[in-house]
Amino acid sequence: MSASPAPRPHTAVIGLGAMGLPMARRLAAHLPLSVYDIAPARRALLASAGGTDAASPAEAARDADVVLLAVRDQSQVDGALFGENGAAETLRPGSTVILTSTVGPEAARATAERLAENGILTVDAPVSGGPVRAGDGDLLIVVGAEDKALDLARPVLDLLASTLTIVGPRPGDGQALKAINQLLAGVHIAAAAEAIALARGLGLAPGTVVESLRHGAAGSFMFGDRGPRMVETYESDVAPEVKSRLDIFVKDMGIVTGIAKDAHVPVPLASAAQQLYLLGERAGLAAHDDSSVVTVLSPKSTPAQNGEDR
């Protein structure tokens, strides 16, 4: 007897930003897909890749079994689901919402409770890995969800994740682990910025420093990934491509320090990194790539202490 074909749930992706766009492109190659974003040009990109362009979240979700949210913060989650023409208006009882945004445990639980009032299930599934890995299905996804919701979402998650970790049975459990991920990522970026700023102050060429140290004991994923972009900031008159906005880490480090305070756990390194991102935001870098935070510590126009970088 032949095996049953893999399920192909009709999926809606709401939010086609840095992560949502490559995730949607990958899903469009395997599943019936509808998409919504406030930018028509982004929707058009998915229409050419096989997705259906919807005029609102409600329209995108009308025939969906699964809705994947890839928006920036909780206010956008609320708008996409519960605002005017929000997805919750048309989602059927028994359908599932996958929350990939980093919003914090309490916000995820509140969203799940609100959806449950209409019989809609929630999979708390924040993602990590960046746009390239999103397009390749190579993301780390950490999940908090009951079994029924996870079973419905699994065909979508399996297309996007190379590492899928089930943290616990409740929405909010995935967010808790993602906050720890963001603590480490945010501190590592801040540490990379300090190292490159010090290198400039000592008259060392930042490119040489990054290439020398990225493969050794002092290296980290963030140093190897953001370090070259920090070097590019100084070597080019054009700002690096925005792969992760600086204000994302303003938000995420705020989540980290907030839940740490509630848990009465001191996080001095995360708190210091949070202040650095806030300084970057105040300096007008909110919409820039997060690697630009290095210029808060070593302004681009300031020569190195011993003359020009060598």
CA 243 to chain centre: 10
Secondary structure tally for the chain: helices H, strands E: 13, 9
User: DSSP state, 3?
Assistant: P
Catalytic residue (one of 178, 243, 251, 261) = 178
178 is catalytic: yes
Contact status, residue 209 vs residue 230, Cβ threshold 8 Å: no
Contact status, residue 10 vs residue 63, Cβ threshold 8 Å: yes
Burial of 164 (0-12, 13-18, 19+ CB in 10 A): middle
For every residue of 235-260, DSSP letters joined together read H-SSPPP-SSBHHHHHHHHHHHHHHH
N residues, the chain: 310
CA distance 11 to 30: 10
CA distance 249 to 185: 9
Contact status, residue 69 vs residue 95, Cβ threshold 8 Å: no
The bridge status of strand 11-14 relative to strand 52-53 is unpaired
CA distance 307 to 309: 7
CA distance 122 to 171: 7
Contacts of 94 (CB under 8 A, 6+ apart): 119, 120, 121
Give me the amino acid identity at 146. Answer: E
CA-nearest of 85, 173, 184, 178 to 122 is 173
Residues carrying an active site annotation: 178
